[in-house]
Amino acid sequence: MSKLKIDKINEAILGILQTRARITNQELADAIGLSPSAVLLRVRKLEAAGVISRYVADINIQKLADAAEYYVEITLTTQGLEERARFEKAMLANPFVIRCNQVAGPIDYLLQVMTLNTHHFERLADWLLSGDLPVQRITSIPIMRKVKPYAGFPIPAFFAGESPQE
């Protein structure tokens, strides 16, 4: 699949929008140095191409509840397409599973889950291992503290080909 080529202006637009999604078109145009109509056209093209897939609010759940967040490593009982599809459908339907990634290596999936407390997580773990899903083993990793929370992709550095060590 060919990747969409973007120029420095679109890089700047994406860099700003991913951290300030509520910015007005005029403010974005001022920051980029283009007319509002030119910026709006570029944003609409990025949306139409699927580069910008949605606009979201970053909610600090800890301000609302003492939530418990975990990474959960999942090993399936078998690697069949039907089993994976059934597992993935269940993960998509569970609101406490906030991320689910199929990975390569000694495990099959890596989940990120958010629960109300450790008892609530225990119920989630019991559900995963209940036999209704093709799960052989889970390993839970509680998140103690977020040292560097996600703040967007490193767009300018990524497209400039910078070394990750810099």
- 69 and 52 in a single domain? The answer is no
CA–CA gap between residue 3 and residue 79 (Å, rounded): 30
State phi, psi for 124 to the nearest 5 degrees.
Answer: -65, -45
- 84 and 36 in a single domain? The answer is no
CA–CA gap between residue 50 and residue 102 (Å, rounded): 22
- 53 and 71 in a single domain? The answer is no
Place of tokens 């509002």: 36
What dihedral do alpha carbons 73, 125, 119, 145 form, nearest 10°?
A: 10
pLDDT at res. 2 = 67
- Does the pTM exceed 0.95? no
pLDDT at res. 95 = 97
- 27 and 67 in a single domain? The answer is no
Q: What is the CATH classification number for the domain harbouring 118?
A: 3.30.70.920
Mean pLDDT of 19-46: 96
Give the chain's domain count.
2
Q: What is the CATH classification number for the domain harbouring 34?
A: 1.10.10.10
pLDDT at res. 5 = 80
- 118 and 72 in a single domain? The answer is yes
Quick check: is 166 in a domain? no
Please write the tens of the pLDDT for every residue from 90-126: 999 999 999 999 999 999 999 999 999 999 999 999 9
- 68 and 37 in a single domain? The answer is no
Q: Which residues constitute the domain of residue 23? A: 8-57
Please write the tens of the pLDDT for every residue from 116-164: 999 999 999 999 999 899 999 999 999 999 898 888 888 877 777 777 7
SS3 12: helix
